[in-house]
Structure 1
């Protein structure tokens, strides 16, 4: 082991006092004793007696100096170096992993006053059907959970099995197995309302800082809606999503899409709901309508704080060419149901874009929110919805296919997209792509102007006075024909 260097000169004048000699010797001995010595270090010290002898000789020379010798006033006792073992408290150790974490884009969002760790929300359906699965969603890290839709009288809800059918790539009967579409004929929750309310309350007690949203749907009855809202809010849920959009939600009882497709009826029911509710209300839109902005506009004007779009698209999944029966097949029969998953994403993006443009032009900077739904399977899919104005992105079928842990992949992919564009927060790019949508007439005008501009550039200079020094080479090239 080499000699320990102090790396600082001691400034000495012509006289040393005896107290300095004692102080210096004490300091040297203290430093020697404080530094932990390993076996190898001790062995090294034993082999360096000559070095220690040199130190002793130096001390002897110090002792021979006059007792009147004094320290320079420039010497600062308090500036002596202090040696700390590597693991002493107070030693700051930097972590490369923590530094990397600090540089990750921030996925947190605040929507209608609700703070979420990320914009990924469990959509209303089977992934939010009971306490066990909703707890799992929170544990895995989802930004919020929307429970499966509840109503006052669950006894009227009777589901059948099978109730799902999948669309795969390839022709009918093909061996290809890549699922691109999913149909369901499932109704709202068939569990007693009291059971669901008890589980809502338990979840909020266990996860007070996480966002739980109740999806509700009721028959055309003001007192019924008021009772349902009152009972649900007593559990402590953070918001309500109103199901105005289920395509097979018992329309004969004026529920689900039967309300969302009738703007006059929608306005009346929204009025009842918002007069009673004390938490934020999102209206969930049906895509099974000519202009989705009409019910969205009515909902916002009637007091709703947010819009969720889209719910499933009315569909017939297909016909089994062997049995000649439709799918999903229940005792040889079926009924049209709701279509979801990857294949609906282009339709969902168009609907979300239309709603976002309407909200921006008619409601400005007011604190209204938009939750995008439809075919989200990756974080990059989510980025598209956010670029079109969505504050949050809901996933339902994707959870049924990939599981609750898929949220980690979604978050990682969304952060990867953000890093590619140097976005730090969701708000940095939310709605950015809306500016690039216009009318077909405007596209024709823009293309005509661009073509004329390119032609003008190819023609080169019109006069000798147009030559410049800086662009001389490019100007020459602009007039070359081959």
Structure 2
């Protein structure tokens, strides 16, 4: 699909001061825009942060130095491995995103940016944890009331460009969010593309902070509004676009289909689940508590994985049935091990995002994720992620079908049950009794 005409980068601005550029089809955009790499300080030597308790592999430029190939191509963009920093605190600025690339992450999604960060005012404390009752060191749930990036938009754009100059072969994804304003979305897209980002992720899913401005989940839950905004973005963008879906909705496939029908290349799911972490029984105040008060936030970490897997399964099935598998899917929700990630890929995910897991364990976690997925692949003789992506989807069906399958299995078992003892042989039914114990 050809995009409407816009002017070249650095060219004339229109009356609103926005750059207009000629648009090309997304397939025509070069995979990498920066020919010269500015080498930064050599990364520190990698190590297994779990001290031998989990598999580990060294990762150089995003590629494990040994074991099966983990690279994948998603919407024409090559990832050295499928593990992506999810939008949030681990992608707040140049320094932390650089750390992610140095440790080996296949891609980084920056914390969501908007044109006017002056409206973003965070509070602290803004996190609350749920710990295991049997092991108080184990975090099983995490709530945040954090907003999108509060850093100046111009500063973030400078850092995007710097990252792409230094890491031209690594995937940088811009998470973007705006109000219901076509001009604002178009300017946001144009400015980010000038910095060389590879993919857009549209934040239609943040469950807190800005619903009164019809942003985040408030937009993602309104299919009519979503359709219009996705249309604006699809017309303006020259690079692949993913829509990040909210789980705070009855049927996640409804907005998912709207976004894909508008022309977007893929979906990401899930964002956090609206939650209240708990109430302090001494003070009677909810957590996290700011000056005695709180507000519902977004729930993440390993406790949400079963919910995330169900939502991902629904979206992957929809993509397979309605788009013949021609749309991409990035899975998010409670991933802390390679086994977690493998489950998402078995349900059809092309990439797997991690945010809270990095906040708990640190950026070197990617080396363990890679090694653990490689162990799975070796066990099953898989040579690439394509060999097993979506392999578990065919095993989902309706409850009615499960009843039918069980009944048929019981009938087959009954027919082949055979005789329990020699006393059960009869003269009249001798041949049938014999047949009931034959295996072929």
Offset at 1:175? Answer: 7.7
Establish whether residue 216 from structure 1 lines up as the match of residue 176 from structure 2. yes
Offset at 1:322? Answer: 1.1
Check whether the contact 1:213–1:240 (CA below 8 A) recurs between aligned residues. yes
CA displacement 1:146-190 (0-9 Å, x = unmatched): 0000000000000000000001122xxx88332100000000000
Correspondence for 1:351: 311
* 1:220-259 correspondence runs (5 A): 220-259=180-219
Check whether the contact 1:249–1:257 (CA below 8 A) recurs between aligned residues. no
* 1:439-454 correspondence runs (5 A): 439-454=398-413
User: CA 1:208–1:102 in 2, change beyond 3 Å: closer, same or farther?
Assistant: closer
- Provide the rounded CA distance (Å) in 2 between the counterparts of 1:439 and 1:157: 45
CA displacement 1:81-120 (0-9 Å, x = unmatched): xxxxxxxxxxxxxxxxxxxx99721111100011011100
Correspondence for 1:15: none
Offset at 1:420? Answer: 1.0
Identify the match of residue 129 of structure 2 among 154, 161, 166.
166
Root-mean-square deviation (CA, aligned residues, Å) is 2.0
Correspondence for 2:83: 120
CA displacement 1:119-154 (0-9 Å, x = unmatched): 000000000000000001001110100000000000
CA displacement 1:443-474 (0-9 Å, x = unmatched): 00000010111111014696538968xx9xx5
Offset at 1:390? Answer: 0.2
Correspondence for 1:386: 345
Correspondence for 1:419: 378
- Provide the rounded CA distance (Å) in 2 between the counterparts of 1:122 and 1:377: 12
* 1:259-408 correspondence runs (5 A): 259-366=219-326, 368-408=327-367
- Provide the rounded CA distance (Å) in 1 between the counterparts of 2:393 and 2:248: 23
Identify the match of residue 204 of structure 1 among 146, 149, 164.
164
Offset at 1:433? Answer: 0.3
User: CA 1:452–1:103 in 2, change beyond 3 Å: closer, same or farther?
Assistant: farther
Establish whether residue 438 from structure 1 lines up as the match of residue 401 from structure 2. no
Correspondence for 1:131: 94
- Provide the rounded CA distance (Å) in 1 between the counterparts of 2:297 and 2:231: 29
Correspondence for 1:62: none
Structure 1 alignment gaps of length 5 or more: 1-100
Check whether the contact 2:418–2:433 (CA below 8 A) recurs between aligned residues. no
Check whether the contact 1:342–1:375 (CA below 8 A) recurs between aligned residues. yes
SS at match of 1:182: strand
- Provide the rounded CA distance (Å) in 2 between the counterparts of 1:158 and 1:385: 34
* 1:182-201 correspondence runs (5 A): 182-201=142-161
CA displacement 1:301-347 (0-9 Å, x = unmatched): 00110100000000000001111110000000000000000000000
CA displacement 1:403-445 (0-9 Å, x = unmatched): 0011000000010111111111001000000010000000000
Check whether the contact 1:284–1:311 (CA below 8 A) recurs between aligned residues. yes
Identify the match of residue 148 of structure 1 among 111, 124, 141.
111
- Provide the rounded CA distance (Å) in 2 between the counterparts of 1:310 and 1:345: 10
User: CA 1:447–1:256 in 2, change beyond 3 Å: closer, same or farther?
Assistant: same
- Provide the rounded CA distance (Å) in 2 between the counterparts of 1:454 and 1:337: 51
User: CA 1:447–1:332 in 2, change beyond 3 Å: closer, same or farther?
Assistant: same
CA displacement 1:366-385 (0-9 Å, x = unmatched): 2x100000000000000000
Structure 2 alignment gaps of length 5 or more: 1-63, 420-424
- Provide the rounded CA distance (Å) in 1 between the counterparts of 2:203 and 2:146: 14
Whichever structure has more helix as a proportion of its residues is: 1
- Provide the rounded CA distance (Å) in 2 between the counterparts of 1:330 and 1:323: 13
Q: Normalising by structure 1, report the TM-score.
A: 0.74
Establish whether residue 464 from structure 1 lines up as the match of residue 431 from structure 2. yes
Offset at 1:475? Answer: 3.8
SS at match of 1:458: coil
Check whether the contact 1:140–1:405 (CA below 8 A) recurs between aligned residues. yes
Q: How many residues align?
A: 370
Rg: which structure is higher? 1
Check whether the contact 2:74–2:350 (CA below 8 A) recurs between aligned residues. yes
Check whether the contact 2:145–2:209 (CA below 8 A) recurs between aligned residues. no
Runs (4+) off by over 4 Å? 460-463, 465-468
- Provide the rounded CA distance (Å) in 2 between the counterparts of 1:175 and 1:415: 29
**More relative contact order in 1 or in 2 (CA 8 Å, sep 6+)?**
2
